[in-house]
Amino acid sequence: MTQIQSPDTTKKRKITRHPRRPFGHYGDVRDRSPSVTARLTRPRDTRVWATPWLERRSPDSVPVVELNVSTASQGGHAVVTATGELDLYTAPRLQAALAGLLRDQADRITVDMSGVEFCDSTGMNVLLSAMKRLKEQGGSLELAAPRPAVKRILQVTGLDTVFTVVDAVPAFDSL
């Protein structure tokens, strides 16, 4: 805090901020009391929250929806069955399953979407990148039996023309 003398009077007036500093800047940390300095310079809480509210939720609340992914393969054909919600947090599970099948050199991958209740842009990007890498290897990726909500997302985004969408999951016997 600085004190300056007004030219017309001999009274001293207090200025709460430096006249040439932007509003909200109130001097250096050294000008503050130790308790204020400790509060302002304390490192922020950087830990990742492990959703403690899950333990406190009531029994009649909405359950946490996850994505369950399972794979089955025969020859060069693989079927990936996904159930749950495909979003930012669950997409890595599907991506890991598809990446494993790409490493195993699967020629054809069918993603059974009949159990997927919701799919956001992250999920679509996982499917698009898997299809791109599979095409580079000479294979194909198709989506089987998407629910109306997922089918609508495919139509609105124009991805229904990019992906091969079939109404039912092909059985291994008919391949």
How far apart are the two ends of the chain, measured CA to CA in Å? 82
Residues 127 and 163 in one domain: yes
Which pLDDT score is estimated for 23?
Answer: 52
Residues 36 and 103 in one domain: no
| Residue that the structure tokens 């990019």 belong to | 162
Which pLDDT score is estimated for 144?
Answer: 96
pLDDT tier, 59 (very low <50, low <70, confident <90, very high otherwise): low
Residue 7 belongs to some domain of the structure: no
Contacts of 86 (CB under 8 A, 6+ apart): 67, 94, 116, 118, 119, 120, 122, 123, 126
| Residue that the structure tokens 């600085």 belong to | 2
CA 7 – CA 10 distance, rounded (Å): 7
- Number of structural domains the chain divides into: 2
pTM of the model: 0.63
Residues 126 and 80 in one domain: yes
Residues 18 and 87 in one domain: no
CATH number of the domain bearing residue 157: 3.30.750.24
Domain of residue 26, residue span: 12-40
Residue 58 belongs to some domain of the structure: no
pLDDT digits (tens, 9 = 90+) for 152-175: 999 999 999 999 999 998 887 655
pLDDT digits (tens, 9 = 90+) for 61-92: 555 678 999 999 998 899 999 999 999 999 99
CA distances from 149 to 51, 106, 119 (A): 28, 29, 8
